[in-house]
Amino acid sequence: MFTTAYIGLGSNIGDKEAYLARALCLIADLEGVEIKRQSSLYQTAPWGKIDQADFINQVIEIATELSPLELLHRLQDIEIKLGRRREIHWGPRNIDLDILLYGKEIIDLEELKVPHPYLMQRLFVLIPLAEIDSDLVFPDGSKLEEVLFRLIKSADASDLRKL
């Protein structure tokens, strides 16, 4: 049985677009995973640790037969294959792959939290997510368009630019 999941991709080191493209190819090659839709690329200011280069971000929708933890481990394998090093929390990275949503599941494990803990605070994820699924309803019943509207009113969206 396939589950719909959404993955956030980001990069702010080296050839950012090439890292995202390579990650997409590697995700597409995963057994039990099919990429259904992908957003445009967005240039965004860093979030959390702001003294670093801008990011290029993207969101994809996949259909997967993998369990949430299997999917997490495959995405981490891809990050390692592409040279990701976890040296500074929220620091610069050549590739970052996050499970944003996994069906309607709420997962609260030490290793994996879904929906992604900062999903509702990050325009660089919500805007590309809205591009590919504007009717999305989160597991808690909130609607993407309402969350996005509230966040845009309170945040500075000028730090995000569609490429």
Instruction: Given the residues 74, 98, 122, 133, select the one marked as catalytic.
Output: 98
State the Cα–Cα distance between residues 64 and 131, nearest whole angstrom: 21
Q: Is there a catalytic annotation at residue 150? A: no
In the chain, how many domains are there? 1
User: What does residue 120 show for φ and ψ, rounded to 5 degrees?
Assistant: -75, -5
Q: Is there a catalytic annotation at residue 161? A: no
Q: What is the CATH number of the domain that holds 89?
A: 3.30.70.560
Q: Is there a catalytic annotation at residue 96? A: yes
pTM across the whole model: 0.92
User: Letter for the amino acid at 4?
Assistant: T
The string of pLDDT tens digits covering residues 75-102 is 999 999 998 776 655 567 899 999 999 9
Instruction: Given the residues 74, 96, 122, 133, select the one marked as catalytic.
Output: 96
Instruction: Return the SS3 of 1.
Output: coil
In this structure, are residues 62 and 117 in contact, taking their beta carbons and an 8 Å threshold? Answer: no
User: Letter for the amino acid at 58?
Assistant: Q
Instruction: Return the SS3 of 66.
Output: coil
Domain that holds residue 15: 3-162
The string of pLDDT tens digits covering residues 54-74 is 999 999 999 999 999 999 999
Looking up tokens 């190819």 gives: 25
